[in-house]
Amino acid sequence: MTPQTAPLGVGILGAGPVVQAIHLPTLARLSDRFTVRHIMDISPDVAASVAGRVGARWSTSLEELLADPDVDVVAICSPPQFHAAQVTAAMNAGKAVLCEKPFATTPEEAAEIAATARATGVPVVVGAMHAFDPAWTAVREAWDNLPATAHTVRSTMILPFNDRYEDWSTEVLGRPGFPPPGPTTPEIHAGMMSGGVLGLAIHDLPLIRTFLPDPEAFHVDSAPVLKPFGYSIAGAADGRTIQLVGRLHAQWQPTWELEVFSDDVALHIDFTPSYVHAGSAVATLSYADGTSRRFGPYEHNGYEGEWLALYDLIGGDTSAAPSGTALIDDLTFALRVAGNASNYVLTEARA
């Protein structure tokens, strides 16, 4: 498919907080390229209300959305366990796809998606917004041999609960509640760890993989679960130290940083938190001689970046987004981190 003179029609599968507070405002800023035509949600009340905000039709059926001739692109924003089947269904229907992360939950599902993409030629973008942030894109072109020389990589996310940002962004309908406190078991803690990695750390894992010569060498040395929700993972790969910290708390002040260190240069990226439409991250390279280079902030953020990449990909620019192979490798790495950290939790609890 190629971009038309008129904006491409978007069908949205799942109309929860991410759609209401992130994708709809983003698409409104890209109205010369995209227009929302169809909203599907299992709740008819949510689907009808959200569709009414943008003048789109609505349904509660995946089949009805995929049969809509006005839909060129499907944004898949449903729970992760449904992503793989819905991505392949959309591709087989000839619709370009933007899928929220993770786009699959097993390597086998990811391989099936890649095979379908090859068979259909349909463009697919995974919504890892930091990989499309213009500050990340700019600093990648300037860091020279940092990926080959890095010895420490650290990701830190200390954030308010999502509803704080959702309420600042829009009036959210049908928001799922946070699980209430209750009895815990090692299996529950292991599930929380896996959920933290695949729900929060996964935003930066594709970036972190850039600095690991062999991601399959990654192993976990420590992985406590943090309350009320979070993780602190310490690991290593090929002699490189990897630290992943993520925690949701009641304060409003956000911290979302990615840091990479070698003997000669340090990279520091300050990301804007999810749901915030306030421009890009700011990336800084600091050198041993005391000099530094700063990249950003740029006008648009990674949410716009991922939609712009999909538009260019539809237009034939295969460099606009990661390849199918890269998407599989990113997912495999994320599943490896989640699995190793969860196994550590279980092993420690049973020791």
pLDDT, position 179: 53
Q: What is the rounded distance in angstroms from the CA atom of residue 311 to the CA atom of residue 307?
A: 6
CA proximity to 174, closest of 77, 43, 18: 43
How do the residues of the chain divide into helix, strand and coil, expressed in percent and rounded to 5? Answer: 40, 25, 35
- Do 116 and 162 have their domain in common? no
Assigned domain for 104 exists? yes
For residue range 60-106, list pLDDT tens digits in order. Answer: 999 999 999 999 999 999 999 999 999 999 999 999 999 999 889 88
Assigned domain for 322 exists? no
Q: Could you tell me the CATH number of the domain that includes residue 32? A: 3.40.50.720
Q: Could you tell me the CATH number of the domain that includes residue 136? A: 3.30.360.10
pLDDT, position 207: 97
- Do 69 and 187 have their domain in common? no
For the segment 164-191, the average pLDDT, to the nearest whole number, is 62
* Cα–Cα separations (whole angstroms), residue 305 to 105, 125, 128, 129, 221: 24, 11, 10, 7, 35
Query: In terms of residue numbers, what domain contains 113?
Result: 8-122
In the chain, the number of structural domains is 2
**Peptide bond preceding 102: is omega within 30 degrees of 0, i.e. cis?**
yes
Show which of 122, 146, 177 is a domain's final residue: 122
- Do 223 and 340 have their domain in common? yes
- Do 199 and 276 have their domain in common? yes
**What confidence tier does 324 reach under pLDDT thresholds 50, 70, 90?**
confident
Q: What is the rounded distance in angstroms from the CA atom of residue 36 to the CA atom of residue 12?
A: 8
- Do 165 and 100 have their domain in common? no
- Do 74 and 137 have their domain in common? no
CA proximity to 51, closest of 66, 39, 67, 63: 39
pLDDT, position 185: 85
Would you list the DSSP string of 181-230? P----HHHHHHHHHHHHHHTGGGTHHHHHTT-S-GGG-EEEE-PEETTEE
Show which of 71, 96, 122 is a domain's final residue: 122
Assigned domain for 80 exists? yes
Q: What is the rounded distance in angstroms from the CA atom of residue 59 to the CA atom of residue 42?
A: 8
Q: What is the pTM of this model?
A: 0.90
Assigned domain for 109 exists? yes
Assigned domain for 325 exists? no
CA proximity to 341, closest of 189, 124, 239: 189
- Do 21 and 115 have their domain in common? yes
- Do 287 and 262 have their domain in common? yes
pLDDT of residue 169 exceeding 50:
no
Percent of the chain having pLDDT more than 70?
92
- Do 154 and 89 have their domain in common? no
> Helices (H) and strands (E) in the chain — how many of each?
13, 15
For residue range 95-151, list pLDDT tens digits in order. Answer: 999 999 988 988 899 889 989 988 999 999 999 899 999 999 999 999 999 999 999
pLDDT, position 176: 58
- Do 183 and 231 have their domain in common? yes
- Do 159 and 19 have their domain in common? no
For the segment 4-21, the average pLDDT, to the nearest whole number, is 89
- Write the single-letter amino acid at 129: M
Show which of 93, 122, 151 is a domain's final residue: 122
- Do 29 and 60 have their domain in common? yes
* Cα–Cα separations (whole angstroms), residue 64 to 57, 68, 93, 290, 331: 11, 6, 11, 59, 29
pLDDT of residue 167 exceeding 60:
no
- Those residues whose C-beta lies under 8 Å from the C-beta of residue 179, and which sit 6 or more positions away, are none
Assigned domain for 326 exists? no
pLDDT of residue 180 exceeding 60:
no
For residue range 183-234, list pLDDT tens digits in order. Answer: 578 888 899 899 999 989 999 999 999 999 899 999 999 999 998 889 999 9
Q: Which residue has the tokens 């799942």?
A: 14
